[in-house]
Amino acid sequence: MDTQRNAAFESLLREHGYTHRGLVKDVNRISARIFGRPGEATDRHVRRWVSGKVRWPTTRYLLPLVEIFDRPPEAMGFVPRGASSRLPVPPPRAADREEDDVRRRTFVVGSTAATVAVVLGLDETPVSGRLTFTDIGRINNAIGRLDAHFNAIGGGPLLTAATAYIDRLRDAVDGCTYGPGVEKALHSSISSLYSSAGWAAHDDGQGDLARLHHAAALQSAILADDRRGQARAWSNLAMQARTEGRHREALQINRAALDSRQARQDPRVAALLHSRLAIGHARAGDYPAAARSVLAAETAHDRFDTAEPAPPWLRFLDAAEIAGLSAIAHRAMGRLPDAEIATAQALQLLAPNMRRNKAYYGVQPAELQVAQGDIARARTTAAAVDTSALSSQHISDRLTHVHRTLTTQEPRP
């Protein structure tokens, strides 16, 4: 097979004054720090990178090269394998791997803000010195763990931790040095964190704070030129407007997000936006448009590339979540039996680790049964909802409202 010499990489070696042997020494040193074992790169590896025989180095050498030259792989002339062009994520350190099970148990039994920060390693992000793409990878790993714990326990203890981590990353913006590529990646990470904090605030019943976080997420995504981050922020702002009863505004925001290039190109983003648009149309009274949006969401879901992993913030969006959002739309349209069927499907499909969503959709059948006058079944359903391991004011308020309503109702004969 014909190969093309990597002139960009060769130019970098000259610009930084590297010999092949000198580069190998630094690559192996950084590889040992990242992966916990000595690197094994040789002069031959460098020759193959320069000649183009190796178009995309293995992660063990690619991450050190990114750190050394402070630019993404493509800017070094490397060509990604397959459809994905994402930078590999650095592995957790050995100590983190050894303590992971203990940390997870600690998190579940002691979910205070201080515990969250320790478990997620939020205090390990540097706020001075040189910031590299390796650091960005670790930051994104921490945010991904934050999102995973939200799905497990809700937003209560995560809100303070997320807000503190935002402050730390903003300190990194001002206190660290970095290249333009790292700068954009850092703003993208901050946008993602703001979105996570917004959801935690929403789950904790703090709507005003949630709106501020979602607006800040949009601003950071714009600074990063992150189209996916912008679509995410717009979607969250639409959800927040709908929660506050501003349905027309929610529809306008949602439509704007759907017109973005990211929504047109990414079926996961499209599925989320169409699902939320369906709810918006339903609550605004446009039932035919709501039904079309439900269908569009399901169609987008069918186009998911299962070989391509979802970004951490979108991992919750699976067949279960699509069914759950469809149930909310059906409920808003007054189609209560359809809503109950879709909710049951969501609960059946939800993964065991999605405890927060299990409780969220677990309350919904009881609400639907109350609305249909099936009080006896609603009592049984509500009693089965387990929120003991959660910290979600939003879910607790809904369940409390159901129980309060049931105390004033008589079972249907």
Cross-strand bridge partners of residue 177: 130
Q: Is 91 helix (H, G, I), strand (E, B) or coil?
A: coil
Q: Is residue 25 part of a domain?
A: yes
Distance CA 366, CA 400 (A): 11
User: Residues 220, 98: one domain?
Assistant: yes
pTM given for the model? 0.70
Structure tokens, 48: 């193959």
Taking each continuous run of H as one helix and of E as one strand, the counts in the chain are 20, 2
Q: Is residue 287 part of a domain?
A: no
Cβ atoms 155, 391 nearer than 8 A: yes
Provide the sign of the torsion angle of the four alpha carbons 325, 330, 331, 336, taken in this order: negative
Q: Is 376 helix (H, G, I), strand (E, B) or coil?
A: helix
pLDDT for 105: 37
Question: pLDDT means per 10 residues in the chain (413 residues)?
Answer: 80 86 89 82 92 89 84 82 56 48 39 52 78 86 82 76 89 90 92 93 89 94 91 90 88 85 83 92 93 94 83 85 94 94 94 87 94 92 86 89 86 54
Last residue of some domain: 225, 245, 273? 225
Domain total in the chain: 2
Per-residue confidence (pLDDT) for residue 91, from 0 to 100: 62
Single residue among 53, 76, 99 that ends a domain in this structure: 76
Domain of residue 69, residue span = 7-76
pLDDT on residue 352: 83
- Report d(CA 234, CA 34) in Å as an integer: 36
* Residues 110, 66 share a domain: no
- The reply to whether 102 falls in a domain is yes
**Domain limit, last residue, from 225, 258, 275:** 225
* Whether residue 147 is found in the same domain as residue 216: yes
In this structure, the answer to whether residues 117 and 177 fall within a common structural domain is yes
- CB-based contact 325:293 (threshold 8 Å): no
- CATH no. for residue 34? 1.10.260
Residues 136 and 37 in one domain: no
Same-domain pairing of 217 and 106:
yes
Could you identify the residue written with the tokens 């808003």? 332
Query: Looking at the structure, do residues 95 and 217 belong to the same domain, yes or no?
Result: yes
Report yes or no on 373 lying in a domain: no
Question: What is d(CA 219, CA 190) in angstroms, rounded to the nearest whole number?
Answer: 10
104 and 184 in a single domain? The answer is yes
Is residue 205 left, alpha or beta, with left meaning phi > 0 and alpha meaning psi from -120 to 50? Answer: left
Residues 146 and 206 in one domain: yes
Would residue 83 count as lying in a domain? no
Are 103 and 206 in the same domain?
Answer: yes
Strand partners for 22: none
Query: Do 218 and 95 belong to one domain?
Result: yes
Residue 95 is predicted with a pLDDT of 45
> What are residue 176's DSSP bridge partners?
129
In a domain, 47, yes or no: yes
Residues 170 and 113 in one domain: yes
Q: Is residue 23 part of a domain?
A: yes
Rounded distance, CA 323 to CA 300, Å? 13
In-domain check, residue 241? no
